[in-house]
Amino acid sequence: MTSRERLLAACRHREPDRVPYDLASTQVTGISVYAYKNLIDYMGIEDDHPEICDHIQQICLPKESILQEFGVDTRGLWPVTNHTGPFDDEEQGDYLHHEDEWGFDYRIHKTRGLWYDLYRHPLPQETATLQDVNAYSFPRGGDAARVEGLREQAKRYRQQGYAVVLKSVCAGLLEVAIRIRGMENALTDLLINKPVMGDILDGILQVKLDYWQTALAELADVVDIVAEGDDFGTQLSPLISPETYREMIRPRQIEMIQSMKKWARDSYVFFHSCGNIRPFLPDFIDMGIDIINPVHITAEGMDPVKLKRDFGKDVVFWGGGIDTQDVLPHAKPQQIRDHVKKNIDALAPGGGFVFNTIHNIQADVPPENILAMIETLQDYGRY
């Protein structure tokens, strides 16, 4: 099978020749530039200037020879945002600061930082008003420059036999609302300041709709996966109650997902949401989400065997291949192999599984553990 045939078979809940593998097609399935540099040094490979594909997270695109050697089946398209385009920092003491197109102020320590942290919010006041929201400037999601040149890139990937993934222009509805207001204010607004939060969510939704309409008018016939997301889970429980989700988030999420499916009828909708999201999975399936990522199997309620049993016929699991919080950075290579085999056994039968780490490979992961993961997938992940 070609990589594209392999991945599409999995998305159709069929067993391909082997489990498809994704690395670095999106900002949530990649690798820290620090882990990557350690890996290629360990392998004796030169890549003096790895391409940073998300400056805030400090993740990079591995060179093509690495992707081929590892058997990566996906290639990603990266629309222009402040995180991926020109990136200007302002030096302030021990930190570098960056303000993005949303007015979010991020900072990274000049010598000890591994990624940028959100430092200031554009609407931080405890009680925001509708006037405050009206005065806030949302980015232009439908700017055609965001996808300039991506069609040629996608056609090249298609000709090479890879599955093509197109990511969103920004984080999720709830995530961006939290970045606009701050965590405490945003979660409070969802309960007691609903008109303000509703206007904020509507503004974010419009950015996304404008982006997807523009992007898919240009790219719908050359992409296979369209990727959205929103982090609704913590390690133990959902971040918000199902009732709040269904009142404030779900109607807007349905409009977004259904619009994506209308504008890209032949593509599969990928949705990223960390943590314990089991209570939301029936909602996701009902609204037309085809793929769930990162399959946070170490979170409460996210046991991979039970997820496959209860939802495996309705949704594709893209991720869940290995725990990146504890196992991948801290285990021994043999423990890595055993862990990967266990998760393949749980999620691969019948298709509907794409191997990926649970979110990005972080800076502290030893190269020998990454290679143990890859080698196990290559040896054990065959049908």
Instruction: Please name the residues in contact with 266: beta carbons below 8 A apart, sequence gap of 6 or more.
Output: 220, 221, 224
Predicted structure pTM score: 0.97
CA–CA separation, 4 and 161 (whole Å):
6
Is residue 47 situated within a structural domain? Answer: yes
Is residue 207 situated within a structural domain? Answer: yes
Is residue 114 situated within a structural domain? Answer: no
Is residue 112 situated within a structural domain? Answer: no
pLDDT of residue 84: 64
Q: How many degrees, rounded to 5, is the angle at CA 343 between CA 3 and CA 253?
A: 70
Is residue 357 situated within a structural domain? Answer: yes
Count up the domains in the chain and report the number. Answer: 1
Instruction: Please name the residues in contact with 45: beta carbons below 8 A apart, sequence gap of 6 or more.
Output: 63, 65, 66
3-state secondary structure of 31: strand
Contact 293, 356 (CB under 8 A): yes
CA–CA separation, 305 and 373 (whole Å):
20
Residues with pLDDT less than 50, the chain: none
Q: How many degrees, rounded to 5, is the angle at CA 318 between CA 315 and CA 323?
A: 125
Length of the chain: 383
Which CATH number characterizes residue 228's domain? 3.20.20.210
pLDDT of residue 89: 81
pLDDT of residue 85: 60
3-state secondary structure of 48: coil
- What is the Cβ-side half-sphere exposure of residue 345, based on CA atoms within 13 angstroms? 6
- What is the Cβ-side half-sphere exposure of residue 248, based on CA atoms within 13 angstroms? 27
The kind and range of the H/E element at 269 are strand 268-272
CA–CA separation, 312 and 352 (whole Å):
7
- Domain hosting residue 188, numbered range: 3-86+123-380
Is residue 113 situated within a structural domain? Answer: no
pLDDT of residue 83: 65
CA–CA separation, 361 and 363 (whole Å):
7
Q: Which two tokens mark 370?
A: 């990454």
Is residue 94 situated within a structural domain? Answer: no
Is residue 11 situated within a structural domain? Answer: yes
What is the spatial order of strands in the sheet that 51-54 belongs to?
A: 31-32, 59-61, 51-54
3-state secondary structure of 271: strand
pLDDT of residue 340: 98
